[in-house]
Amino acid sequence: MSNDRVGFEAFVAARTAALARTAYLLTGDAHLAEDLVQSALLKAAEHWQRIHTSPEAYVRRTMYHQQVSWWRRRRGVREHTIEGYDAADRVPDLDVALSVRDALALLTTRQRQVLVLRFFEDLTEHQVADVLGISRGSVKSTTRQAFDRLRRVAPHLAEFVEDPA
C-alpha cells in the first residue's frame, strides 16, 4: 500500500466525524451531509499528492463551495431533516441543540456558513474569508446580519446570540 493511500486513509479515519458534524450544520439534513462529506473526500483523494500537507482546509473549502452549488441548484426544493443525526455526540441540553439547529435552518446559506465557520469551527474572520473567498468585511457584516436575524426569529436563544462586534 502506498504512503499516499495510507495518509489519505488515516486522514479520513481521523477527521470524518468532525467533517460530518460541520456538513450537517451547513446542510441541516443528515443525508445531504453524508453526500457532502463523501463528495469532498472524493475530490481530496483525487488531489491528495497536491493537498496532503493541509488536507483539512482543502476538504472544508470544498464542502462549503459544494454546498453553495447544491443550494443554488435546489432553491425550490423543501428539505426535511432527520432528528438525532449525531447520536454519538450527546449534547447536554438537547432542547438548546435542537433550537440552534432549527434557528440555523432559518438563515441564508451564506449566513449559516459564516456562523458555522466562526463559532462552531472556531475560525478567525480572516480564515472564514479565505475559506469562502469573500472579504473580511463581508464576514463581519454577514455575521452581524445573521445575529440580527437570529434575534428576530429565535428570541428564546438570546443568551447565546452575542453581539459579534
In this predicted model, what pLDDT tens digit does every residue of 112-154 receive, in sequence order?
889 888 888 888 999 899 888 899 999 999 999 998 988 888 7
Residue 75 has pLDDT above 80, yes or no: no
**What length is written for the chain?**
165
Measured CA to CA, the distance from residue 132 to residue 143 in angstroms comes to 13
Would you place residue 162 in the very low, low, confident or very high pLDDT band (cuts 50, 70, 90)?
A: low
pLDDT tens digits, one per residue of 14-73: 999 999 998 988 888 888 899 999 999 999 999 999 998 889 889 988 998 888 777 666
Measured CA to CA, the distance from residue 87 to residue 115 in angstroms comes to 23
Measured CA to CA, the distance from residue 83 to residue 45 in angstroms comes to 31
pLDDT confidence of residue 40:
94
pTM to 2 decimals? 0.54
Helices (H), the chain: 3-27, 30-46, 48-51, 55-73, 94-105, 109-115, 125-132, 136-153
pLDDT confidence of residue 90:
47
Computed on alpha carbons and rounded to an integer, the radius of gyration of the chain in Å comes to 16
